[in-house]
Structure 1
Amino acid sequence: MNRWYRYGLAGLCCTAFFLSAAAPAHDPVETERYRVQPGDTLWEITERYRGDASEWPILRETNGVKDPRRLQPGDILDLPRLPELTAEVRHCEGSAWLIGEDGRRVPLHEDMLIAPGDTLETGSRTFVSLRLPHGEDVVLPSNSRVTLKQQNRRHARLYLKQGELEAHVPTQRDYHEVLDIDTPTGVIGVRGTRLRVTHAEDGIRVSTLEGKVVLKQGERTTSVPAGQGVLARTNAFPQVAILLPPPELKADEHSFDHPLQIQLSEVAGAESYRVQLARDPDFQTIFRDEQSNTRLLTFDSVPRGFYYARGSALDALGIEGRYGRRLVLHRPVETALDTSDDGYTFRWTDIPGLEYRLQLSEDSSFSDPFLSRSFSDSQGVTLRNLPTDEFFWRLQVSGDAGKFVDSPVVASGRQGAAHQP
């Protein structure tokens, strides 16, 4: 049932309740009708419909079935309509739309709920992150089109009509709770897996980063474990390949006036390279994506800030390999240390979204700093009454609140002689 129509119907039912004392206190349970086929049992119908055969008493009670093992072909069963498995939009960067079953288009925004039957479509330079009912995280990059489907009470499906998606499917406690990804070329069954799927005119490409993927094409089944990828075409035998290793990433972090450039190390067997930028380490908030035949990728108009970058290499089949990652500080933080009778004043460039940590130590190893303070939305601090006038200092930045392990040192010095590391 169309979601907008359903909301309107709910409103009419609510009005009827207040106008008529004879109206029921609860909305009647919506049902679907099923015609019994030869050989059907109530257990088998329940398994297909609800995803769990142990729930057969629900169908027995609803239909007054006397003997669940002896159903008469041609009989009609009422199947209570299943609760919807909705998805939530966690991030939306750029232009994307929700398309209902009636074809109505609505601009997509964060916190929007996606119901079965809804289609999502992303424009150019657009990135959308979804959280599915059982904790699956799905990222849709630019120019992609996917429809959310529901097979039974526990089983969600995605139909990738165009473009690409990346999914992280956590290991489920219930073996019924799996995610299928349908494409025009085949069906991909996943559980406890991190994978990428791309649908193009010449077929689908799957890269399994963690876990295992099972690709079904008619009667043919192909297992794709972690570290492997596959190119599958219609009416052709799948081509399986080992994923290319991750490249190393280097960034020009000390340039004030030039675009952000990411240099990748050479990967044997690579035909092209890809780099994505995100605002979080899990890459749920991707905002830029570039692909090139060269190992130097340039990102224009990237604001000053602290980002996460990941790069990969694509082989001759177009299968994308493993990711290499690094933190990127685009345009350096300017720092200064002024001394006066009033104390020591540290100043730095305040970049939105960053947290700073200033540490002072009596030795250059900073194994036991005598001062360690964190700051956000600040451009500096004045320190007084320090235990010593001889100290080393350093300034770190982090994109995750309170997490400074392995975070970059953007400036350091001793008694005001700041320098870029």
Structure 2
Amino acid sequence: MRRLPSSVVRQRRAFAILTAGFTFFIMSPVVRAEAAKVNKAAKPETVSYAAQPGDTIYEVADHYLSDPHDWRVLARLNHVDAPRRLKPGTLLKLPVALLKRDPLMVRVLAASGDAERISKTVPSLPLAEGASLGEGDAISTGSDGFVTIELEDGTHLTLTPRSTLALGTLRRTVLTGRTERDFSLVRGEVESEVEHLTKPDDRFEIHAPSIVAGVRGTHFRVNFDPLATTVEVLDGKVAVGNAETRARATKVKLDEQAPAPESELVPAGYGSVTRGGAVGAPVALLPAPMLAHPAKIQDGPQVEFDLQPVAGATRYRLDIARDAGTLDLIRETRTETPHASFADLADGTYFVRVSAIDGAGLQGVPRVYAFERRRNGVDASAGRAAGARSYEFRWLASRPGVDTHFRFVLSRNEDLGDPLVDAVDISGHRFVVTGLPAGVYYWTVIAEQFENGRFYETAAGVRSFTLAY
């Protein structure tokens, strides 16, 4: 027997480990057959189809049933004695349980950092915007990876760093249009913005090892780690059920008399924590923090934010995105203080999403701010100049190619009040002050620039020196 290449073996083994313990609810023909046996006495749910000119029972079965060999079931149900002759307009009853379920694809809307597709059939590949994924694929992000995928109805799912999401059932039933979309969160966090489901039996579920979250149209987050699973609802409602109970109920669901598994209904503005398999009661989420200086131009070496503290918060989370909807995320951080900084962020317009985290680990309601990153540092120095009691001040703005004027302020006061010198519209990079008496002085220089229709000011820190003659 031909041996598989070692790389393929490793890939398949990794996928098997990744998906171990998860049920994706892709119903096999054997399971469907068992379902048919259990429900044999029950009247099957059907959908009507009007025969078209040239239709035969064989063609109808081939086009609309998952198994074309079920044409016999179709003929028997509709009392068709001549399978090759169907009168146009004849209404046929097609069992819903036998209908073909076409696969659905998802598209990568945005990807940043370390993010890859894991598949059973091909080696792992880095994910890029526009890539297509389907049933059986998985998405994994590294320490700086973000991925947002988009479903055919505009639903979005976003993975943050150190997360893995397996794509389970992605199907649309022909004729009825019913959709089934199941995802399994293996580790980390997924945020979902689900478009409203249009049919009563449409399904959208996020599975984690300890819970199942089912929705009909909402905005919510699921975060899993070995100690706890959290669900936070920002819009709509989410039914959170125990995964083990749900799995048992799924096996029994072949019997239509089986009761639905119990679940906790979590409304908007609330969250739930599951520990040890026990789904927690809904808890109010913390309100969104506010930035202390929302209009600040981020012109320093690092991008820095100060938050107004939120009562009950033990940590804060900040995410940076390229878009206001925070679908194209590029950075995140969590901090125990209401201050956070980000390094190495290029110039541009960005959006920061801020939220507070409570003692149970529930992330609160977010707030999004736009901000401008426009780095422009001012390096300044001072020293004695030639001449009696002369002092020379020098500076340089770090942003090249922009017409820059400077303002120089010198004072005896640390707050620069009652300045001795307040010189404006300086085009050069030096200023000399003479005749200074002995004492302590404070000074700064401010770079003033007008670019793209906006006026910008960048100040060097207040500096001091002492003259003792």
TM-score with structure 1 setting the length: 0.65
Name the CA distance, whole Å, in 2 between partners of 1:131 and 1:244: 29
Q: Quick one: structure 1 residues 137 and 55, their matched pair in 2 at CA, closer, same or farther if it must change by over 3 Å?
A: farther
1:42 CA displacement: 8.3
1:43 CA displacement: 6.5
Given that 1:90 and 1:130 are in contact with CA atoms closer than 8 Å, whether structure 2 keeps it comes out as yes
Given that 1:183 and 1:199 are in contact with CA atoms closer than 8 Å, whether structure 2 keeps it comes out as yes
Q: Which of the two has higher C-alpha Rg?
A: 2
2:249 corresponds to 1:230:
no
Partner of 1:54: 47
Q: Quick one: structure 1 residues 37 and 164, their matched pair in 2 at CA, closer, same or farther if it must change by over 3 Å?
A: same
1:148 CA displacement: 0.9
SS of equivalent to 1:176: coil
1:81 CA displacement: 5.2
Partner of 1:64: 72
Amino acid at match of 2:287: P
Partner of 2:108: 89
Q: Quick one: structure 1 residues 204 and 78, their matched pair in 2 at CA, closer, same or farther if it must change by over 3 Å?
A: closer
Partner of 2:181: 156
Partner of 2:303: 260
Partner of 2:37: 37
SS of equivalent to 1:63: helix
Given that 2:298 and 2:304 are in contact with CA atoms closer than 8 Å, whether structure 1 keeps it comes out as no
Name the CA distance, whole Å, in 1 between partners of 2:152 and 2:136: 15
CA offset digits 1:378-402 (Å, max 9, x no partner): xxxxxxxxxxxxxxxx9897xxxxx
CA offset digits 1:344-397 (Å, max 9, x no partner): xxxx9999xxxxxxxxxxxxxxxxxxxxxxxxxxxxxxxxxxxxxxxxxx9897
Equivalent residue for 2:200, pick from 162, 172, 175: 175
Partner of 2:367: 324
Partner of 1:28: none
Given that 1:32 and 1:80 are in contact with CA atoms closer than 8 Å, whether structure 2 keeps it comes out as no
Question: What is the total number of aligned residue pairs between the two structures?
Answer: 306
Partner of 1:215: 240
Name the CA distance, whole Å, in 1 between partners of 2:344 and 2:141: 21
1:190 CA displacement: 1.3
Superposition CA RMSD, Å: 3.4
1:301 CA displacement: 0.9
Amino acid at match of 2:38: P
Q: Quick one: structure 1 residues 55 and 115, their matched pair in 2 at CA, closer, same or farther if it must change by over 3 Å?
A: farther
Percent of matched pairs sharing the same residue: 26
Name the CA distance, whole Å, in 1 between partners of 2:97 and 2:217: 35
SS of equivalent to 2:318: strand
Amino acid at match of 1:282: G
Given that 2:102 and 2:171 are in contact with CA atoms closer than 8 Å, whether structure 1 keeps it comes out as no
CA offset digits 1:387-421 (Å, max 9, x no partner): xxxxxxx9897xxxxxxxxxxx842xxxxxx868x
Q: Quick one: structure 1 residues 80 and 192, their matched pair in 2 at CA, closer, same or farther if it must change by over 3 Å?
A: closer
Name the CA distance, whole Å, in 2 between partners of 1:410 and 1:224: 46
55-64 vs 201-210, which moves further: 55-64
1:240 CA displacement: 2.4
2:236 corresponds to 1:243:
no
Q: Quick one: structure 1 residues 316 and 108, their matched pair in 2 at CA, closer, same or farther if it must change by over 3 Å?
A: same
Gaps of 5+ in 1: 1-30, 47-52, 71-76, 335-347, 352-393, 398-408, 412-417
Equivalent residue for 2:357, pick from 306, 314, 328: 314
118-127 vs 148-157, which moves further: 148-157
Amino acid at match of 2:327: Q
Q: Quick one: structure 1 residues 208 and 162, their matched pair in 2 at CA, closer, same or farther if it must change by over 3 Å?
A: same
TM-score with structure 2 setting the length: 0.59
Partner of 2:89: none
Given that 1:208 and 1:227 are in contact with CA atoms closer than 8 Å, whether structure 2 keeps it comes out as yes
Q: Quick one: structure 1 residues 240 and 40, their matched pair in 2 at CA, closer, same or farther if it must change by over 3 Å?
A: same
CA offset digits 1:40-71 (Å, max 9, x no partner): 36875x7xxxxxx527984498432255499x
Equivalent residue for 1:137, pick from 153, 156, 170: 156
Name the CA distance, whole Å, in 2 between partners of 1:43 and 1:182: 31
Name the CA distance, whole Å, in 2 between partners of 1:146 and 1:193: 19
CA offset digits 1:314-346 (Å, max 9, x no partner): 011100000122111123689xxxxxxxxxxxx
Q: Quick one: structure 1 residues 87 and 256, their matched pair in 2 at CA, closer, same or farther if it must change by over 3 Å?
A: same
Name the CA distance, whole Å, in 1 between partners of 2:370 and 2:149: 24
Name the CA distance, whole Å, in 1 between partners of 2:328 and 2:29: 39
Partner of 2:138: 119
- What does 1:99-114 correspond to in 2, within 5 Å? 99-102=118-121, 104-114=123-133
1:78 CA displacement: 11
- What does 1:282-301 correspond to in 2, within 5 Å? 282-301=325-344
Amino acid at match of 2:148: S
Given that 2:103 and 2:171 are in contact with CA atoms closer than 8 Å, whether structure 1 keeps it comes out as no
Partner of 1:274: 317
CA offset digits 1:199-228 (Å, max 9, x no partner): 111121011000000111124310000010
Given that 1:42 and 1:68 are in contact with CA atoms closer than 8 Å, whether structure 2 keeps it comes out as no
